[in-house]
Amino acid sequence: MATAKHSLILLLVFFIVGCEDDDMGDMEVFDPTPFELVLPAVLEPFEPLMKIPDDNPLTVEGVALGRKLFFEPRLSADGSLSCAGCHIPSKSFAENEQFSTGIDGIAGNRNAQNIVNLSWMNSLFWDGRAKSIEDQALEPVVNPIEMHNRWSEVEHELRSDEEYRQLFKAAFGTEDIDSMLVVKAIAQFERTLISGNSAFDKYLNGQPTGWRQEDFDAVLRGLDVFMAEEKGDCFHCHGDPTNPFWTDNIFHNNGLDETFSDLGLGAITGSESDNGKFKTPTLRNLLFTAPYMHDGRFNSLEEVVEHYSTGLKNSPTIDPLMKNIDQGGVQLSPQDKSDLIMFMKSLTDSSFITNPDFQDP
């Protein structure tokens, strides 16, 4: 009797386990494909410093969804403006307007920054108010002078689209689309927008630059101007060849104004000592991103260099790095100005703006 009883128990166990196995076989397993970033040689040493949240790792499915959403005009209230409307791939994901104009024809008061190498940034926006790419991506949709929409409307619009439901399911394991998943996908795509293949990068890698020797001789003279404290003294804010991001990633008052109509960082921190300070922009791909400065006041690199040479304006928060303020700036010679501009041009990565992976799908 004991043997028969034990056999019956074993049969029941096998039956239950078998049913569970069948049920598991019917369930869809969420298993997105990890996205493998291939970094340019100059950025490879900095891979451990990339800021990729544990709750939003890069996946093939997530990046593909984010790319589609980046070019999706239905994120805006009238279906006319996408992220790419102000961050244009051919402009290094910036635009050539002084101020961006939203769906209601209202212009903002800041120049659109280029989107490049964001994974290494500590904060975003000219005033640093966003601490992650995800935080940054939340704002334009509801900004009244940009996309002027409501996230509830965006969520409804995307949920009603069968293709998007399937794309979100593949990327995040759910068809229940919400704002946080939208910005996570966009952030994944934006983290792949990596630039590090300029002529100067090739020079650092010991590769042919593609430039005529006499032109690259001017580039190297311009680097000397850039690095010399008694000349351009640019490296304190924009780094040196050991910093391939060409920004110190912090905030400075660079002598644009004596008084401020835009407080910049000061409006975020509430500290008067931060008034007139804006985040140092990267020097990468400047040829594509004119006009320059937080308010797009300079139309050319020549105007930018002239500002630091003769146009500095004093104010209570001006950065101590802005030297020779009593003379208006560092007083560069015409040759130094020309060479410095050639150096900045050598940081242009044309392969970045033509990369097929970054275009409208």
Q: What is the pLDDT of residue 252?
A: 98
Stretch among 3-17, 72-86, 226-240, 260-274 having the lowest mean pLDDT:
3-17
Q: What is the mean pLDDT of residues 328-351?
A: 98
Same domain, 209 and 158: no
Q: What is the pLDDT of residue 341?
A: 98
Residue 165 counted as domain residue: yes
Residue 19 counted as domain residue: no
- Check pLDDT > 70 for residue 236: yes
- Check pLDDT > 70 for residue 7: no
Same domain, 96 and 172: yes
The first and second tokens of residue 277, run together, are 């300070």
Q: What is the pLDDT of residue 329?
A: 96
Q: What is the pLDDT of residue 6?
A: 52
Residue 295 counted as domain residue: yes
- Check pLDDT > 50 for residue 308: yes
Residue 9 banded pLDDT, cuts 50, 70, 90: very low
- Closest to 337 in 3D by CA, of 181, 225, 171, 196: 225
Q: Which of 136, 168, 194 is the last residue of a domain?
A: 194
Residue 339 counted as domain residue: yes
Q: Which residues pair with 277 in a beta bridge?
A: 264
- Check pLDDT > 50 for residue 173: yes
- Check pLDDT > 60 for residue 219: yes
Split into its structural domains, the chain has a count of 2
Same domain, 261 and 248: yes
- Check pLDDT > 60 for residue 32: yes
Give helix 179-191 / helix 162-172 axis angle, nearest 10°: 70
Residue 323, domain CATH: 1.10.760.10
Q: What is the pLDDT of residue 10?
A: 43
Residue type, 195: S
Residue 27 counted as domain residue: no
Same domain, 170 and 221: no
- What percent of the chain clears pLDDT 90, i.e. is strictly above it? 91
Same domain, 190 and 217: no
Angle in degrees, CA 328, 330, 336, rounded to 5: 130
Same domain, 176 and 208: no
Residue 106 counted as domain residue: yes
Same domain, 236 and 101: no
pLDDT digits (tens, 9 = 90+) for 252-296: 999 999 999 999 999 999 999 999 999 999 999 999 999 999 999
pLDDT digits (tens, 9 = 90+) for 314-334: 999 999 999 899 999 999 999
Same domain, 48 and 170: yes
Residue 22 counted as domain residue: no
Residue 30 banded pLDDT, cuts 50, 70, 90: confident
Same domain, 238 and 181: no
- Check pLDDT > 50 for residue 8: no
Q: What is the mean pLDDT of residues 184-211?
A: 97
Residue 49 counted as domain residue: yes
Q: What is the mean pLDDT of residues 343-350?
A: 98
Its domain, for residue 287, covers 199-352
Q: Which of 165, 194, 223 is the last residue of a domain?
A: 194
Same domain, 151 and 241: no
Asked whether 260 and 276 are in contact (CB, 8 A), the reply is yes
Its sign, for the CA torsion 256, 262, 263, 264, is negative
Q: What is the mean pLDDT of residues 347-351?
A: 98
Q: Which of 149, 172, 194 is the last residue of a domain?
A: 194
- Check pLDDT > 50 for residue 26: no
Same domain, 228 and 347: yes
Same domain, 241 and 159: no
